[in-house]
Amino acid sequence: RQSGLKVEPVYVVSPAEVNVVLEFSVPAKDRYQAVAKLECEKVLKKIQFPGLLPPTVLVENQVRLSASAKALAAYAQKSGAYAIVIGTHGKSGLGRVLLGSFAETLLYHAKNPVLLVNPHLRTPASLKHFLFASDFSAASRQAFGEFCAFLKPLKAKATLYHLVPKPFPWASPATAYLLGTQTLNEAQYLREIARENLDKAEEFQKAAKKAGVPCEVRLETSDEDVATAILKRAKGLKADGLGLAAQTGRWETALLGSTSRGLLREGRIPVWVLRAS
């Protein structure tokens, strides 16, 4: 609302969506599209938002759910969408392990950033501060540039966050035993990593400055799980949202990586994700 952005509701109707195992015939496609559009319009009447556009209904004839995700991703790219906003189901049990096949498949195929919203979202008063969790990889640096472009219209600031996991207690003695005096102790190792990370963080700050986005850096060391540490820091900073680059590939179509999945499952604030290319 504050940014003046437009929101286009998009619904993909397919045989998989209505639990039909056969492809749609032409008359069926027309009927489902008309019914879906009427239902969308009915729901949208309850929403008061000045930037709300008329709904678009995409009809995908293939039975596979992945085809629907591809259709939405292609439509977003073709229409030049700022981002794709999609909800996760946030269930318990197996639902906590899997984000939902549609959401995961969309993350794999989308060229546009995806903003994932947990159904238990803590509604922020505004989206003015995002924490971007980075491993300082080239893919993360590329995603951060897109992230800054996302923040610019929102007039939001960024906190670049990087966590260095502490070595296991047995790591230093074991390494010293194997390699002798050439090894670094834990304190030396962490100091060396800190120096390297400051140099890497500077490149991210330059990108943020070029994009006109205020950015501060938080570099931390912890023995906590990475996702837990990120969520704790986001809560401590009262961040309105999170951002990250997600590694995806043949295996990560179903398993996005433990850190990404932990953030998407447990986060109570929106999570901006760009697939690492």
Top-ranked range on mean pLDDT: pick from 49-58, 123-132, 160-169, 257-266? 49-58
Tokens, residue 90? 């946030």
Q: Write out pLDDT tens, residues 154-196.
A: 999 999 999 887 754 544 454 444 445 455 566 676 778 778 8
Percent of the residues in the chain that have a pLDDT greater than 90, as a whole number: 33
Specify the pLDDT at position 126.
Answer: 80
C-alpha distances out from residue 46 to 13, 14, 153, Å: 22, 25, 26
Specify the pLDDT at position 148.
Answer: 97
Task: List the one residue out of 141, 168, 100, 173 whose CA is nearest residue 274.
Answer: 141
Q: Where are the domains of the chain?
A: 1-63, 64-275
Contact 77, 242 (CB under 8 A): no
Q: Which residue has the higher pLDDT, 98 or 120?
A: 120
Protein fold of 64-275? Rossmann fold (3.40.50)
Q: Write out pLDDT tens, residues 1-56.
A: 666 789 999 988 876 555 554 455 555 666 667 777 888 888 888 887 888 899 99
What span, in angstroms and rounded, lies between the C-alpha atoms of 130 and 65?
A: 32
C-alpha distances out from residue 262 to 90, 127, 155, 226, 271, Å: 12, 21, 28, 9, 11
